[in-house]
Amino acid sequence: MIKPVGSDTLQPRFVYDDAQRDALAHEAESLPSVVISSQAAGNAVMMGAGYFNPLKGYMRLADALGAAENMTLTDGSFFPVPVLCLVPDLSPVGDAKRIALRDPNVEGNPVLAVMDVESVEEVSDEQMALMTEKVYRTMDPEHPGVAAFNGQGRYALSGPIQVLNFSYFATDFPDTFRTAVEIRNEIQERGWKKIVAFQTRNPMHLAHEELCHMAMERLGCDGLVIHMLLGKLKPGDIPAPVRDAAIRKMVELYFPPNSAMVTGYGFDMLYAGPREAVLHAYFRQNMGATHFIIGRDHAGVGDYYGAFDAQTIFDDEVPKGALAIEIFKADHTAWSKKLNKVVMMCEAPDHAKEDFVLLSGTKVREMLGKGIAPPKEFSRPEVAQILIDYYQSLN
């Protein structure tokens, strides 16, 4: 099985021993505590679940700057983005060396993790600007990732953490949320050797489904992990339970038995395009995938990134040998009226735009809201029905 990044075995920060976890939870109630940002909470969940292996906690400023500038930490190890715990106010923490981190996304702000504070550093405007520009490739405050990153505060708390729970992800999505540890174990149980992962934050239309079949066939994979984002999205995105139901229906009807797993992970989308694509590949290797599909405008938003920047970054910027996972580079896929099947558009050079069935997201949402299923060349009817029911429930 493919090794995790940076170690022979996964080193998740979740405390699996029940007695130890109970003792920590009890201790945490008497510790100074701070309600952290949603982004920092997502980072804790990812470290707890083993996805950010081998990180033991939040980065010091020097490591965060190194991750942003050249994807390299001060000890020479690879990590593609800063993993910070930024807070706006230090008064709840004082000079404590051990603190409780409280969850901003769960009512009552329960303790999410306990942290040994190794350093408290103030981040300058110049340093924030450098990290923002390097990771997001823009300083535009309208970019949702830029706004979230810069809205957290300017004090960086760093040090190892022990994670007590997986926030709302494990409770709200018990059938879908899986840690990297659990996915590795299931891959092993299923006997898969070559595994391709597919990232999604949307329901899967026919083109996505066919792209997964294409990747599996061309790579000779015996397993597919559909790995959906369960964290905070931007307004207008379809809620995770609806996406989950739609994807499960597609897998049930259109994939052979024991060929696809439907899973999810807890994290707030960065919308950082190319840099986030590298992060996505990083944690897919940690969960046991040998290959990862990266398509057009992966993890992008608006017009901030070029259509294939998320693919070329692996050739141009990721240090050689940093990742063992291989990238399956995909173009936009769509139904060809000429060939009567879904194709990658770059593989149909004799086609004009009108030779494909192409519908904008706006058009599809409009149709679904009116109870009209998109054409079968665009969406499976059983999947469309789940989405119609959701959109009509909003009226």
Q: How far apart are the first and last CA of the chain?
A: 48
Higher pLDDT, residue 193 or 241: 193
Query: Which pLDDT score, from 0 to 100, does residue 59 have?
Result: 98
- Give the span between the Cα atoms of 161 and 94, in whole angstroms: 18
Q: What average pLDDT does range 386-392 have in this prediction? A: 93
Please identify which of the residues 202, 218, 243, 284 carries the catalytic annotation: 202
At 296-331, the pLDDT tens digits run 889 999 999 999 999 999 999 999 999 999 999 999
**Could you tell me the pLDDT band of residue 110, with boundaries at 50, 70 and 90?**
very high
Q: What are phi and psi of 360, to 5 degrees?
A: -75, 155
Question: What is the percentage of the chain residues whose pLDDT exceeds 70?
Answer: 99
Query: Which pLDDT score, from 0 to 100, does residue 232 have?
Result: 66
Two structure tokens written together for 97 = 């060396």
Domain ranges of the chain: 18-167, 176-265+271-394
Q: What average pLDDT does range 47-57 have in this prediction? A: 98
Q: What average pLDDT does range 216-227 have in this prediction? A: 97
According to CATH, the superfamily of the domain at 18-167 is Sulfate adenylyltransferase (3.10.400.10)
| Confidence check: pLDDT of 389 > 90 | yes
Two structure tokens written together for 78 = 């690879």
Q: What average pLDDT does range 112-133 have in this prediction? A: 98
| Confidence check: pLDDT of 295 > 70 | yes
Query: Which pLDDT score, from 0 to 100, does residue 157 have?
Result: 98
At 234-252, the pLDDT tens digits run 667 788 889 999 999 999 9
| Confidence check: pLDDT of 14 > 80 | yes
Q: What average pLDDT does range 320-346 have in this prediction? A: 95
Q: Whole-model pTM?
A: 0.94
Query: Which pLDDT score, from 0 to 100, does residue 365 have?
Result: 86
Please identify which of the residues 21, 109, 154, 201 carries the catalytic annotation: 201
| Confidence check: pLDDT of 113 > 70 | yes
Q: Could you say which architecture CATH assigns to the domain 176-265+271-394?
A: 3-Layer(aba) Sandwich (3.40)
At 243-283, the pLDDT tens digits run 999 999 999 999 999 999 999 999 988 999 999 999 999 99
Question: Is 202 among the catalytic positions?
Answer: yes
Q: What average pLDDT does range 51-68 have in this prediction? A: 98
Sheet harboring 333-336: ordered strands across?
A: 341-344, 333-336, 356-357
To the nearest whole number, what is the mean pLDDT of the chain?
A: 95
- Read out DSSP for 158-213? EEEEEE---TTHHHH-TTTB--HHHHHHHHHHHT-SSEEEEEESS---HHHHHHHH
Query: Which pLDDT score, from 0 to 100, does residue 129 have?
Result: 98
| Confidence check: pLDDT of 334 > 70 | yes
Query: Which pLDDT score, from 0 to 100, does residue 62 have?
Result: 98
Question: Is 150 among the catalytic positions?
Answer: no
